[in-house]
Structure 1
């Protein structure tokens, strides 16, 4: 079977029960990773597994075996080759180890058209974790879309830019790609692209980027597990754009090997 179901949920390798789902609906202390699966493979799978393990150690004081994650993914996918999957980690009842919930949905693709973002004053707490309970970022994202934008851009005091509500963001000034030096999740796609930029002769740096700095940049792009897209506008700042850079960045990402689950 190649087509993913509208929604499949397994917990620890078996179909989720009503009681198990009810417990998780009340338990927002946990973390997850989101993966796009194509032909039964995932880009940066080791990075996803490392993220889950690091967050499990930090939140629960327990390591998470990568083999267990792979097995849970394979079982939930069954014969599905293309899907959007998520792995959620909670602590089992009574603190008896970790429990994994895997969801499988149809695959998702980030629109490659240029995006527009509107800035909001908000930074995710414990931003280095892909944790649950992100009401504010979801709310700001909804407000942005109602206002005609694609997403919200999260900023801190002084207009310091962190990330978008659902993606990392980077800025290009004609000399180097700048990743905001502010509280943010290091996404898997970001980590893959950042590691490859030097090979293409493109310097990659981490530095503070503020809303006031935006006019100095030629373009920006957002990236997450769904893909990479240029940013055409942030608030009232319109970027000239750089098709050559975007072609290079997308090419680097497209060449990343897919890992078998």
Structure 2
């Protein structure tokens, strides 16, 4: 089903956002968020998104963020926008004059699957407090834009010594012919990555975590990235080419597609 384009719709704590509400992210932007795709009012990995928001809220503000409240706010915003398919972001902020976390829900056009294969440009940047997904990440955005301007599709973030961590907006996985390898380094565990790890374990594909460096890349037969938009093969990192493993991609696509959806 094709969904017509619609302007972004924003609610703050369950009501249409006012100009005063929008001063919170504009001037008190210290916070966190999760991004999810809604199809027919259902979300893959919803419990993982809610757990992420709660954990980040505890980390940043020292208080929990109730998952039932967040789920209801997502549903209310979808009703307000009048859509069943959408890209949704849920932001948590703690303005100094409010005792409870302010929850902003934005509803936009549903994202289309990313065409591939992609080329990645390695960059010398690793996010601080990588386990928290937050807005306004300057370095991440800066290096991703540099990669796009250089003709790549994504930036591959690396720590000291060329240690691979994650993509600027994705997680990255490697295939060594036996196992799917996730970099064992500080990074955000994306919901799609977590769903793939769980699904691969159930289907018999081995999925492991171990350190990956740029010097190690020759040991891998295939590479892919994943996000809420799905799984995309990688054909190049810097000047090193990779073959797209069609059988692997079919398994990954199937695994992600089979992940259960929860209604909002």
- TM above 0.5, yes or no, is yes
| CA contact 1:127–1:183 (8 Å) conserved in 2 | yes
1:85-164 matched pairs, under 5 angstroms: 85-164=88-167
Whether the aligned pair in 2 keeps the contact of 1:72 and 1:102 (CA below 8 Å) is yes
Report the CA distance between 1:112 and its aligned residue: 3.5
Residue aligning to 1:25: 26
Q: Retained in 1: the 8 A contact 2:13–2:104? A: yes
- Which of residues 183, 187, 207 is equivalent to 1:180? 183
* Counterpart for residue 58 of structure 2: 57
Which string of whole-angstrom CA distances, capped at 9 and with x for unpartnered residues, describes residues 172-213 of structure 1? 010101000011000000000011112222111100000011
Cα distance, 1:30 vs. partner?
0.3
- Correspondence 1:204 to 2:207: yes
Correspondent of 2:222 among 198, 210, 219: 219
Per-residue CA deviation, residues 3-39 of structure 1 (Å, 9 max, x unaligned), is 5632001000111111221232112210000010000
Q: Distance in 2 between matches of 1:259 and 1:42?
A: 5
Residues 199 and 259 in structure 2, CA contact (< 8 A), matched pair in contact too: no
Conserved 8 A contact 1:5-1:104: no
Normalising by structure 2, report the TM-score. 0.96
* Unaligned ranges ≥5, structure 1: none
Q: Paired residue for 1:73?
A: 74
Q: Is the 8 A contact 2:28 2:95 kept in 1?
A: no
Question: Which 5+ residue runs of structure 2 have no aligned equivalent?
Answer: none
Gap change, CA 1:4 and 1:40, over 3 Å in 2: farther
In 2, distance between residues paired with 1:3 and 1:61?
A: 40
Deviations 1:197-255 (A, max 9, x none): 12222111100000011111111110111111001100011012211011011101111
Cα distance in 2 for partners of 1:122, 1:113 equals 24
Structure 2 counterpart SS, 1:94: coil
| Paired positions, count | 260
